[in-house]
Amino acid sequence: MVAEKGTISINTENIFPIIKKFLYSDHEIFLRELVSNAVDATQKLKKLASMGEFNGELGDLTIKVSVDKEAKTITISDKGIGMSADDIKKYINQIAFSGAKEFLEKYKDTPDTNQIIGQFGLGFYSAFMVSENVEIISKSFRDDAPARWICDGSTEFEITEAEKAERGTDIILHVAADSEEFLDNFRISGILEKYAKFLPVEIEFDGKVINNPNPIWTKSPSELTDEDYKAFYKELYPFGEEPLFWIHLNVDYPFNLTGVLYFPKIKKDFQLNRDKVQLYSRQVFITDDVKDVVPEFLQMLHGVIDSPDIPLNVSRSYLQADGNVKKINSHITKKVADKLQEIFRNDRTGFEEKWESVGVFVKYGIVSDDKFYDRAKEFILLKNVESKHFTLDEYREKVQAIQTNKDESVVFLYANDVNQQDAFIASAKKREYDVLVMDSPLDAHFINALESKLEKTTFKRVDSDSIDKLIDKGLNLESVLSDDEKKKVEELFKEVAGANTIQLESLPADEVPVTIVQPEFMRRWKDMQRISGQGD
């Protein structure tokens, strides 16, 4: 075959500089795209072999990535189906370039390039973001003559016959001067680590296989042990603490989704974790920004979700409106609730032990997702100052038995600072009233949400003026102060404490004689003002 020169049929002459500009901040994805293509070509060959349409020797199918600093090239070699000269003309000149053309037509007038970067899969064409010239040397599994194609990203290409003994494709990138950062082994191994870690075909770089082609989410839960799940967690987050438990997702209708979600231990002063849920599409890493796919309250979970049905190359707003994404969202919520319910029913003690962490998710879920309460109401736990846990029903029953003023709603007393409210807790206990601990950053919202869900139930902080209204235990309340002394003390405290209600209780001698209380509604009103930046 003589060298054939040709023009790719795109009207715009200067397509390359424009695309290069558009994709500027996301250049590294060229490697994701080219390695994915190598994987696709390999999988296609395996598929043909399994269908009896390829009877040759499959041999070692490892994909090899290499960097030649001197020659300034990066090469991606596979032993997949390969391409003949005609295949290249069809699949590269026409199809790959038409993607680029479509991209250009769609976005050439978009002023804000950041919005579109990385959302458009440019596949093969993305090679030109980092290359002066891109060369393909390929031999098809069909035994056609090997072919060599070279192109500088403009619409001009050259195609010739090539020397290549083995089946498969070498993509040789002649790296452009402004992209020489990619000739660094560290850089390349970093990119591969990010995008290719779980690709289904072995990938070799620097003499080592860099991926795990059979990650656990591709296997059936029945093949896996707890140790497998823990080991995979370590693989994902080498510095993470052991997870509390996990959920293996496996759906094939009405959408395709697999994955493993882990509940991490959450520290009391929890900060948003940097270990995030990772989103894959057929084992290719896409993003760890799963905002629209995973419900907000579950974004503190860890693990992996893989779905070919999540549209990845479209804009955010499209993703939010996408029917599949919404279904995936509610499926994940349901799975998480089912799992928690299962643990609660089968191992209540274990569940209570994990409540410190699990409670954060559950409370956040109840606060942020209206429907989650119904799924969770059976296993929402309340903890009292003796560190005993109760379900909502259990606690209601307990309080109803103690509370003597039956006409009002049931009152759940709580402390949000056990040390500071020590005297109030002691005085409630003296009257055999129970006190909950509500001291996490989420609890104020959690309380509001529960009040709106539970019928005739109110939460009152233990230092509100309610304890004596709730209960009359007939204690022998001989005050240590005379009436005169009381009056003096009352005035003194009013002066110091301003408008707060002063309650001089007739307390037994072993209790503090004076408490300053504030009605619950007053206190909450002040809290609200503080949150909105007014008040003190």
- Please enumerate, by residue number, every residue annotated as part of a binding site for ATP: 33, 37, 78, 83, 98-99, 119-124, 169, 316
Least distance (Å) from Mg ion to the CB of residue 70?
A: 29
Angle at 239 between CA 234 and CA 245, to 5 degrees: 50
Question: Do the Cβ atoms of 98 and 3 come closer than 8 Å?
Answer: no
Interface residue with ligand ADP, options 3, 95, 209, 321 (CB under 6 A)? 95
Question: Do the Cβ atoms of 213 and 202 come closer than 8 Å?
Answer: yes
Site string for Mg ion, 101-130 (x = CB under 5 A): ----------------------x-------
37 in contact with ligand ADP (CB under 6 A) = yes
Q: How many CA atoms lie within 13 A of 316 on its CB side?
A: 9
Least distance (Å) from Mg ion to the CB of residue 135?
A: 17
Least distance (Å) from Mg ion to the CB of residue 347?
A: 46
| CA distances (Å), origin 145, targets 82, 93, 162, 482, 483 | 11, 18, 8, 111, 111
Q: What is the DSSP letter of 384?
A: B
Least distance (Å) from ligand ADP to the CB of residue 248?
A: 29
Of ligand ADP, Mg ion, none, which one sits near residue 233, judging by CB under 5 to 8 A according to partner kind? none
515 in contact with Mg ion (CB under 5 A) = no
Interface residue with Mg ion, options 16, 19, 22, 37 (CB under 5 A)? 37
Task: Look up residue 358 and give its two tokens.
Answer: 């699990």
Candidates 30-38, 203-211, 352-360, 476-484: pick the segment binding ligand ADP (CB under 6 A): 30-38
Q: Choose between 123 and 259: whose C-beta lies nearer to Mg ion.
A: 123
Q: Choose between 37 and 518: whose C-beta lies nearer to ligand ADP.
A: 37
User: Is the alpha carbon torsion for 55, 58, 59, 65 positive or negative?
Assistant: positive
Three-state DSSP class for residue 247: strand
Distance CA 524, CA 448 (A): 10
Of Mg ion, ligand ADP, none, which one sits near residue 198, judging by CB under 5 to 8 A according to partner kind? none
Least distance (Å) from ligand ADP to the CB of residue 90?
A: 8
41 in contact with ligand ADP (CB under 6 A) = yes
Task: Look up residue 145 and give its two tokens.
Answer: 């003559």
- Residue ranges of the annotated binding site are 33, 37, 78, 83, 98-99, 119-124, 169, 316
Q: Enumerate residues 100-129 that contact ligand ADP by CB under 6 A.
A: 123-125
Residue of minimal Cβ distance to Mg ion = 123
259 in contact with Mg ion (CB under 5 A) = no
443 in contact with ligand ADP (CB under 6 A) = no
Using alpha carbons, select from 183, 187, 165, 211 the residue that is nearest to residue 35.
211
User: Is the alpha carbon torsion for 117, 121, 126, 127 positive or negative?
Assistant: positive
170 in contact with ligand ADP (CB under 6 A) = no
Block residue for tokens 């007739």: 506
Residue of minimal Cβ distance to ligand ADP = 123
307 in contact with ligand ADP (CB under 6 A) = no
Number of residues that bind Mg ion (CB under 5 A): 2
Which residues, 6 or more positions from 150, have their beta carbon under 8 angstroms from its beta carbon?
A: 133, 134, 135, 136, 157, 158, 159
Which residues, 6 or more positions from 248, have their beta carbon under 8 angstroms from its beta carbon?
A: 217, 221, 224, 259, 260
Distance CA 92, CA 97 (A): 6
Block residue for tokens 């009605």: 519
Interface residue with ligand ADP, options 66, 91, 204, 314 (CB under 6 A)? 91
Interface residue with ligand ADP, options 15, 96, 304, 415 (CB under 6 A)? 96
Q: What is the DSSP string of 401-453?
A: HH---TTS-EEEEEES-TTTTHHHHHHHHHTT--EEE--STTHHHHHHHHHHH
Least distance (Å) from ligand ADP to the CB of residue 277?
A: 25
Least distance (Å) from Mg ion to the CB of residue 89?
A: 17
169 in contact with ligand ADP (CB under 6 A) = yes
168 in contact with Mg ion (CB under 5 A) = no
Q: Enumerate residues 59-88 that contact ligand ADP by CB under 6 A.
A: 78, 80-81, 83
80 in contact with Mg ion (CB under 5 A) = no
153 in contact with ligand ADP (CB under 6 A) = no
Number of residues that bind ligand ADP (CB under 6 A): 18
Burial (CB count <10 Å: 0-12, 13-18, 19+), residue 429: middle
Distance of alpha carbon 262 from its chain centroid, rounded? 10
Residues that bind ligand ADP (CB under 6 A): 33, 37-38, 40-41, 78, 80-81, 83, 91-92, 95-96, 99, 123-125, 169
User: What does the binding site for Mg ion look like in residue numbers (CB under 5 A)?
Assistant: 37, 123
